Amino acid sequence: MESFEDLGLSESTLKVIKQKGFEEPTPIQAKTIPVILSGRGDIVGQAQTGTGKTAAFGLPIIELLAENSKTVQALILTPTRELATQVAEEINSLKGRKKLSIAPIYGGQSIDLQLRSLKKGIDVVVGTPGRILDHLKRRTLKLDKISFLVLDEADEMLNMGFLEDVTEIIENTALDKRTMLFSATMPPEIIKIAKKYMGEYDLLKVTKGPLTANQTDQIYFEVSEANKFEALCRIIDIEEEFYALVFCRTKIDVDTISNHLMERGYDADGLHGDMNQSQREKILNKFKKRHLNILVATDVAARGIDVQNLSHVINYSLPQDPESYVHRIGRTGRAGKGGNAITFVTPAEYRKLQFIQREAKTDIRKAKLPNVTDIINTKKLRIKSDLEEIVKSCPRIGYLEMSRELLQNIEPENILAALLQYTFQDELEEKSYAEIADAVVDTKGKTRLFVTHGKQDGFTRNKLVNFIKDKCGISDNKIRDVQILDKFSFVTLPFHDAEVLLAYFKKRKKGTEPFFTKAKKARKKS
């Protein structure tokens, strides 16, 4: 396996990578970074969402851009505002001390704020096609001197009907730029864009094998990033027997989470790539002997760990790709025993979770975190059970003489209550637990759907809306941009609702009812 040091990155960039806690490059990073740094040609990269594409193009572009430039040097197009924000934040975190200005430009954001930012000068613009095109028409954004154009998640832009916008934007960019197109799939329309608007390009493809998720019970909890640790503690506390691997994305996360767990009194430790073999073996040995019941690790550090009978695998951070997810959860539910795979999902990660679920052909059900009352009641029952077991198994319990002395002057229930207070302090009080606010899943991303029926089939806007409402219970205020043509129609739904609708029709045979699929390209009106 290659390291980041093998890819030709500068010492300053390697320092940033180390600070972020990345251990080794993902396959798409290992293939893409050297090609971009070499300065040769354009790139078409085929890789799934969540495989580290942003760093794959972001790291080398940062190295190649000039500081203190007063013009836009790179444009990154993304299909949604959420992805634009995410990509901009990631590139900002990768630039280190290099003096570059990176900003997201998308619809729904204040146009005045964008105008001020553009006037000051932005080196890297990360934007959605509609708003970028709007600025081009206003002449408030100039792309005639850019060095790099990145089309991120090109197939999603195609599905959402942005093909014409994207081609118009490309035609307004510098002729001598380098173009990088990244897509999970390669439909003909994407290949046409590459052939028409790109020069000689390298096709960099990350191959995928068949995915099979085991029969582990898979659930996810919607939590904000700030509440993940409290959510983890609740899962540990509610379970009678918790013996688990907790997966994190970086070494820094491993150290932070494992240290916090130990500070709270849990039998936990961490494992990552910076540890020597002796440290690694010592920690693994303790975990296998159950002297530790929680091991926090990165995917890299967990390779080769063969521990049987785990009760849980916790995805504290979403894995890079569906393969990693399947590999992680395969560690629980072994030897014919049931296991649990739990995934924490922040609002912005919902689309990625849906992608993992779809690619892994598995069902990850939503659940609610246990509340404080449930946890306290569970602990109380556990304490009572443990005390009863001690009384039964130890007829000659120590401290009997001391107990009799106390009973001469104090009521028995007061003595027991005092002992429980002395032992557990405020652990059984609600005020000891932090509140976890409900996280609202990001369903703002839209999906454009193609419908196989149109005017010739007697379809009207109201009939299509009512049909969707009746079949899937989707409210009409979510059904937007309905377009009824002669032989077919289009409709736009929030990402999650579109997935629900598509899942419903996958189970039915095509017949007299309209059939729904994702729109693959903008079609001309009949």
Give CA–CA dist 419/69, Å, rounded: 70
Res 115: pLDDT: 93
Above 60 in pLDDT, residue 510? no
pTM (two decimals): 0.58
- Averaging pLDDT over each range in 186-190, 440-444, 511-515, which range is the top one? 186-190
Confidence of residue 291 (pLDDT cuts 50, 70, 90): very high
Hey, what domains does the chain have and what are their CATH numbers? 4-205 (3.40.50.300), 217-366 (3.40.50.300), 372-432 (no CATH), 446-518 (3.30.70.330)
- Where is pLDDT greater, at 447 or 292? 292
Above 60 in pLDDT, residue 51? yes
Res 476: pLDDT: 77
What would the pLDDT profile of 234-290 be if each residue is shown by its tens digit?
A: 999 998 889 999 999 889 999 999 999 999 889 999 998 788 878 888 998 899 889
Q: What secondary structure, in 3-state letters, does 328-387 show?
A: HHCCECCCCCCCEEEEEECHHHHHHHHHHHHHCCCCCEECCCCCHHHHHHHHHHHHHHHH
Res 526: pLDDT: 33
Give CA–CA dist 422/418, Å, rounded: 6
Above 90 in pLDDT, residue 187? no
Three-state SS at 5? helix
Mean pLDDT over the full length of the chain: 84
Above 70 in pLDDT, residue 72? yes
For residues 10-23, give the mean pLDDT.
Answer: 89
Least confident span in 33-42, 65-74, 320-329, 441-450: 441-450
81: its two tokens: 């505002």
Q: Which of 67, 56, 8 is nearest to 28 (CA)?
A: 56
Least confident span in 51-55, 176-180, 393-397, 432-436: 393-397
497: its two tokens: 């609702």
**Distances from the Cα of 449 to the Cα of 166, 174, 452, angstroms:** 19, 33, 10
For residues 335-350, give the mean pLDDT.
Answer: 80
Which backbone phi and psi does 218 adopt, to 5 degrees?
A: -110, 125
What would the pLDDT profile of 145-157 be if each residue is shown by its tens digit?
A: 999 999 998 988 8
Above 50 in pLDDT, residue 524? no
Which backbone phi and psi does 243 adopt, to 5 degrees?
A: -140, 100
What would the pLDDT profile of 386-445 be if each residue is shown by its tens digit?
A: 788 877 776 556 677 788 888 888 888 888 888 887 777 777 777 777 777 666 555 456
Least confident span in 41-55, 191-205, 250-264: 41-55
Least confident span in 40-49, 184-193, 317-326, 420-429: 420-429
For residues 355-384, give the mean pLDDT.
Answer: 86
472: its two tokens: 């899937």
Res 214: pLDDT: 61
- Where is pLDDT greater, at 46 or 515? 46
Res 55: pLDDT: 92
